[in-house]
Amino acid sequence: MRYATPASAKEAAGLLSKEKGAAFLLAGGTDLLVKLKMGMVEPDLVVDIKRIPKINEIQTSAKGFTIGAAVSGAVIGEHKGLNAAWPGVVEAANLIGSDQIQGRATLAGNLCNASPAADSVPAMIVAGAKAVIVGPNKKRTVPVEKVVEGPGKTCLTKGEVIEAIVLPKPEPRTGDAYMRFIPRTEMDIAVVGVAISLKLERGVVKKAKVALGAVAPTAVVVPAAARALVGSKLDDASLEKLAAACSAACNPIDDKRGTVEYRTRVAGVLAKRAAKLAFQRAGGAL
């Protein structure tokens, strides 16, 4: 296994695109190192992007936030601006594993690992996050919901590297929230995850976006769930409609972490709770 520490995203892309063997990108390493340990991957080349300038930084601009691909959850959790703007994204990022994992794990890595249960992905989707993808020849920006195509599968072509995650500046009176279900209080993979962002106008939901995790091969955006919220003040009837829409959108599997019935049921339960939290964060009164 060769180990490279390129000085730019473009150089990283070049290394990956030229590699004939199995090549992997290393940011936080919390997934890659586990796969190495379990013998699930045998890399010929590992490209560590953490020595690339600015890739470990969060940049704030008038348009929003650019979160470098190697920024860890711990750094995101400490960032005041991000916490104020997108608390749902921050809490989703911070739910991934222990403090030790938080010291390394990244949003871009969580996205590229393409696990159906990735916590940050539904949260990024409802926040309108985009991935800045650098290839050997060109750069492109792709909405997060378009990045993951299936379990372990992304839209990235050979040689492409996510350089940063871009979050917009939230519109006024926007709130987001992410909630997941795990059997313990920590250290588990999500059995169900629900992310909701919504915008209020005069106390009424004007716009909403709902995404579910761990209930289908990829995170699912549920327009019907969003429609259930729009125009409401989160009365019981709209919450029930939200829950029903979320449950209906589930296409989960039975596995060691949960059953089809359980995931379907709890998706609705968490959606109601997440909606209330997002509503309050947007300044709504329950």
Partner 1 sequence: MGHEQKYVDKKYEVVGTRFNRPDGIDKVTGKARYGADASAPGQLVGRVLRSPHAHAQIVKINTAKAEKLPGVKSIVTSADLPDLTGGDQGLADILENCLARGRALYDGHAIAAVAAVDEQTAAKALKLIEVKYKKLPHVTDVDEAMSESAPVIHDRIFTRGVEPKPSKPSNIAARTQMGYGDVDVGFAEADVIIEKTYKTEQTHQGYIEPHACLASVNPDGSAELWVTTQGHFVFRNVCASLLGLDIAKLKVTSSEIGGGFGGKTHVWGEPVALALSRKANRPVKMVMGRDEVFRGTGPTSSTSIDVKMGAKKDGTITAAVAEMRYQGGAFPGNWAMLACMTAFACYDIKNNKSVGWDVVVNRPKVAAYRAPSAPMAAFAVESTIDLLAKEVGISPIDMRLKNVAREGTQAPYGPTYGPIGIEHTLKAVKDHPHMRAKLKKNQGRGVACGFWFNIGGQTCTDLNISVDGTVNLTLGTVDVGGSRSSMAMIAAEELGIPYDQVRANIADTTSLGHNDMTEGSRGTFSSGMATIFAARDAISVLKQRAAQMWGVPEEDVIWENGQAIATGEGHGNLPALTLQEIAAKSGRTGGPIAGHNEVVADGAGMGFASHICDVEVDPETGRSSIVRYTVVQDAGKAINPDYVEGQFQGGATQGIGWALNEEYIYGDDGCLQNPGFLDYRIPVCSDLPFIDTKILEVPNPLHPYGVRGVGETSIVPPLAAVGNAIANATGVRMTHAPMSPPRVLAAIDAQENAG
Partner 2 sequence: MSNATLVSTTVNGDPVQFACPTDESLMTALRNRVGLTGVKEGCGTGDCGACSVTLDGSLVCSCLVLGVEAEGRKVTTVEGLSENGELHVLQQKFIDHAALQCGICTPGFLVAAKALLDRNPNPNETEIRYALAGNLCRCTGYDKIVHAVQDAAKDMRKNNNRSKKRS
Burial track 112-140 (b if 16+ CB lie within 10 A, e otherwise): bbbbbbbbbbbbbbbbbbbbbbbbbeeee
Residue closer to partner 1 (CB basis): 130 or 272: 272
Binding partner at 254 among partner 2, partner 1, none, C-beta below 5 to 8 Å by kind = none
Please give the residue ranges that form the binding site for partner 2 (CB under 8 A): 1-3, 26, 28-30, 33-34, 36-38, 43, 46, 48, 50, 72, 74, 97-104, 185-187
Show the tokens assigned to 249.
């959108």
User: Would you say 68 or 258 has its CB closer to partner 1?
Assistant: 258
Residues binding partner 1 (CB under 8 A) = 37-39, 181, 183-189, 255-259, 261-262, 265-266, 269
- The burial class, CB within 10 Å (0-12 / 13-18 / 19+), for 187 is exposed
Cβ nearer to partner 1, comparing 201 with 261: 261
* Residue 188 binds which of partner 1, partner 2, none (CB < 5-8 A, kind-dependent): partner 1
Given partner 1, partner 2, none, residue 33, with its beta carbon under 5 to 8 Å by kind, binds partner 2
The answer to whether 166 touches 60, Cβ cutoff 8 Å, is: no
Q: How far is the CB of 91 from partner 2 (least distance, A)?
A: 13
Report, in Å, the least distance between residue 122 CB and partner 1: 18
Nearer of residues 86 and 181 to partner 1, judged by Cβ: 181
Q: Which does 46 bind (CB under 5 to 8 A by kind): partner 2, partner 1, none?
A: partner 2
Q: Which is nearer to partner 2, 34 or 286 (CB)?
A: 34
Q: Which is nearer to partner 2, 186 or 236 (CB)?
A: 186
Min CB(19)–partner 1 separation in Å: 21
Partner touching 266 among partner 2, partner 1, none, CB below 5 to 8 Å by kind = partner 1
Instruction: Residue 100: name its binding partner from partner 1, partner 2, none (Cβ under 5 to 8 Å by kind).
Output: partner 2
